[in-house]
Structure 1
Amino acid sequence: MTSSPRVLIVDDEPNMRRVLEIMLARRGYRTLAAADGLEAWERVQEGGIDLVVSDLRMPRLDGIELLRRLREAKLDVPLILMTAHGSLDSAVEALRLGACDYLLRPFDVEALELAVNRVFASRRLLQQNDFLRSEVARAKHGLVGISSAMQKLRRQIEQVAPTRTSVLLTGETGTGKEVAARAIHDGSERADALFVPVNCAAIPAEMLESELFGHEKGAFTGAVKHRVGKFELAQSGTLFLDELAEMPVALQAKLLRVIESGEMQRLGGNDAIRLDVRLVAATNRAPQQAIRDGRLREDLYFRLNVFAIELPPLRERREDLPALLAHFAQLQRGAVPSAIASDVVEHLQGYAWPGNVRELRNMVERAFILAGTQDLKPVHFPLDVGAPVVTYATTDHPPSDLRLEPAVEALERSLIAAALRDSGGNKSRAAQKLGISERSIWYKLKKYGLGE
């Protein structure tokens, strides 16, 4: 069953209420009725009303006063006013208070249908615009690089993008899984609809279900109004579930049911909502290990893992460093590649890049701050988060110091620093990313002089 909007019809004439109910029900809307503004006010406060169609003149509480109460209570419920006794003053007052439309009786079916459809089309557009405005500040970098690893990645995206297939992206933190997911969306027939990303690790577990599926007013403490979830926002588009293995296992079971059935319910709601959403999921954990650790349901993994793409770490595509540097410099200041000294790339080549492309992007931003009006030079890229790690795969000669302990400590220090950056300085979350206890991370932070 597909959920349709619920319209409250308010009129003191029983015959008119019945006629309006029939007119709207035949066009797929669910209807309720109230005999006057006071009864309507009580029904609206109960929640679940998507639109009010109200007469202007009624006993106890008229349409204008009903509209005034809605606005004073900051209840975001649209209202269409109808009247057989229209005047310029009443129309102006209604529109000033935020009425969506003002219909003069007698009106035909098409006029009412047009007014109601216009309200819901406008509401949908506002929801999408609000979401898009929140996305404007997000980086939308392209797939930059000429390495064989990047060429393979582009081929895989070109293969799967035009299909309806679910995709599972794997790879280390900062390798660009959201960038790849956006490229899949942009290359699909859904490109004109929304791409909706959800970071499952960044949202508290108790809020994630509501974030995904939305809720009705009163569904839980603090649910003061109806809310549209990310699944509904992504209708006809793509939903990107990042850090899937951080989603609570119980919620993974519900997600699997939604994927299998193709429909969902809002929290506190009873109506099933049919979905047309493409899913792209990602995790920085090895899926099979996450399954063994109890972090990822095996049945959900097999359902999403129809087409798997592994994103390469930056240390395995070092030949892309010049292009990436120029790209991030262009994004930061509109700088041209000549604004980067030639020895910067050489300076960065031996670094282990535990934070991958995201770390490089942040490093370029910091370098511009340090450089001011100067060209970017090696001194503006301090590698002070840990000694650069040079592997046998990237040099013709092994390092002169073959002792294991200093190399391990240097790598550990780099990984801890990267985890702290990715977690915004949150030590508990950094410990979770590293797979160690909070007690361990506090010990290591003190040992390496980090986080002070």
Structure 2
Amino acid sequence: MTTKRILVVDNEAKMRRILELSLKAMGHEVAQAADGQEALGMIDAGAFDLVLTDLRMPRLDGIGLLTALRDADNDVPVIVMTAYGTIETAVAAMKVGAADYIIRPFEMETIEMAVTRALTMQVVQRENRFLKEEVSRGWGDFIGTSAPMQALYDLLRQAAPARSSIFIVGETGTGKELVARAVHVASGRRGLFVPINCAAIPAELLESELFGHVKGAFTGAVRDRIGKCELASGGTLFLDEITEMPAPLQAKLLRVLQEGVIEKVGGNAATPVDLRVVAATNRDPQQSVDAGVLRRDLYFRLNVVRVDVPLLRDRRGDIPLLVDYFVHKYALELSRPAPTLSPEALAVLEAYPWPGNVRELENLVERAMVLCRGDTITVDHLPAELAPSRTVAVSVPPSPTSPPVDTDDLALRPHIDELERRLIVQALEKAGQNKSAAARLLEISERALWYKIKRHGLS
């Protein structure tokens, strides 16, 4: 990471000096302020990349400093430190916009990890802001800067403004509805975004849900009802799991798309509609067509622009960003400080194949947040089914320079640590000590690699 300007704010001169030395050892430029009021003057005089502030100080405390910065529309990341930690103050700090919250006494490694994380997230947030500006009201809910996600942004940027139908393909949990909503927002269409899950509604009711019905059309139809197609007129109709729609209804939908009119169930009056249709499936659409599950002519009508949503296992570099987002999300819901993620736990998450994709990751983070009572999520807070991804050391032969495995000591952790250390050394050698290239060889994020290098004493 390049040199950053960091402002340390604390009324204790000794603590300011300790933090200054530690941050300078990380390669950063450091300035000091004795309280929030002095810090505001220094920030007005020159930009900083990060502020590290104590909570309790004379004149202006940490929360006051943070509030003043946000009121002035200054988004510099702020890490709050305090020896008087409570859930209430932590939540207050996070709600005002703190990047992290650290309770004293702390190890300097905790500060270093928090600083690295905050500076990394600052870069990511700036990149995401740039992407959002490029697409007008673009992809604010997306999290990810990996190459697959950049390709997705590029495709949506081109396809969203058009009226053409879009066919979204992706495994369960990849965020197909999120993509559809982003298309609608960036399209500029003034109408509603109306989703309908074709697999969640019984076949006999789906036609009424789509096209509406008139009073008396069937038993229980006690009044006229507007359908999803009419509701979405002028906006976007999202047909999730389109391959689950019954074949006869597919034919009626095709007619609506071709003629731009609907007829309510039990009625005979044609109602014009202006629809932009986005369809989605977790199946292979071509196989569904070949199997007769999806009408070929409807598929051609919907598949004007195909969007393949990246699998989480194909964008592992985004996992730290996603985890950080979900940790802070559930920290607010649980009214507690956001814990950090141990390097070992991050390595496990990055190695797991994620059959349930981002949805599975979110559920896992929520579970870890409930189980974690301290300030760090460790491997012990992860589900047991992730354990196999940590046992690969058993089948990997030791290198000639490593000590033989003591078969009387079968504890996994020491052997996994030794294997991890050797693999990192080999990757760095192969990459010519280039950290980014080595991280790609190891299929982990560069941030995770830096943590591991420090942990194993390889720096």
| TM-score category, normalised to shorter length | 0.5 to 0.7
Distance 2:386 2:312 in 1: 17
Asked if the contact 2:339/2:377 (under 8 Å) is kept, the reply is: no
- Cα distance, 1:372–1:241 mapped onto 2, change above 3 Å: farther
Asked if the contact 2:180/2:238 (under 8 Å) is kept, the reply is: yes
Distance 1:375 1:389 in 2: 19
Distance 1:331 1:211 in 2: 34
* Matched letter for residue 325 of structure 1: V
Distance 1:382 1:141 in 2: 30
- CA offsets, 1:228-250, max 9 Å, x none? 11111112111110111011111
What does residue 322 of structure 2 align with?
Answer: 324
- CA offsets, 1:367-423, max 9 Å, x none? 222224643222222142784499xxxx9x99659xxxxxxxxxxxxxxxxxxxxxx
What does residue 154 of structure 2 align with?
Answer: 155
Distance 1:164 1:220 in 2: 35
* Matched letter for residue 153 of structure 1: L
| 1:143 matched to 2:142 | yes
- Cα distance, 1:382–1:284 mapped onto 2, change above 3 Å: same
Counterpart secondary structure, 1:281: strand
What does residue 38 of structure 1 align with?
Answer: none
| 1:358 matched to 2:355 | no
- Cα distance, 1:371–1:289 mapped onto 2, change above 3 Å: same
RMSD: 2.5
Q: How does 1:148-297 map to 2 (within 5 A)?
A: 148-190=147-189, 192-297=190-295
What does residue 346 of structure 2 align with?
Answer: 345
Distance 2:164 2:211 in 1: 21
What does residue 3 of structure 2 align with?
Answer: none
- Cα distance, 1:223–1:337 mapped onto 2, change above 3 Å: same
Distance 1:398 1:250 in 2: 55
| Unaligned runs of at least 5 residues, structure 1 | 1-139, 402-452
State the Cα distance separating 1:193 from its structure 2 match: 2.5
Distance 2:184 2:357 in 1: 23
State the Cα distance separating 1:316 from its structure 2 match: 0.7
- CA offsets, 1:222-267, max 9 Å, x none? 2122211111111211111011101111111111011001010111
What does residue 378 of structure 1 align with?
Answer: 379
What does residue 368 of structure 2 align with?
Answer: 367
State the Cα distance separating 1:325 from its structure 2 match: 0.6
Asked if the contact 2:261/2:270 (under 8 Å) is kept, the reply is: yes
Task: Give the share of equivalent positions with the same residue, in percent.
Answer: 51
- Cα distance, 1:221–1:345 mapped onto 2, change above 3 Å: same
Asked if the contact 2:241/2:281 (under 8 Å) is kept, the reply is: yes
Query: Rg larger in 1 or in 2?
Result: 1
Asked if the contact 1:167/1:281 (under 8 Å) is kept, the reply is: yes
| Unaligned runs of at least 5 residues, structure 2 | 1-138, 398-459
Asked if the contact 1:141/1:179 (under 8 Å) is kept, the reply is: no
Counterpart secondary structure, 1:364: helix
Asked if the contact 1:329/1:336 (under 8 Å) is kept, the reply is: no
- Cα distance, 1:377–1:175 mapped onto 2, change above 3 Å: same
State the Cα distance separating 1:330 from its structure 2 match: 2.4
Distance 2:349 2:220 in 1: 49
- Cα distance, 1:389–1:289 mapped onto 2, change above 3 Å: farther
- Cα distance, 1:181–1:398 mapped onto 2, change above 3 Å: farther
Distance 2:357 2:212 in 1: 34
Counterpart secondary structure, 1:220: coil
- CA offsets, 1:310-365, max 9 Å, x none? 11111111111001111122222237776333332112122111111111111112
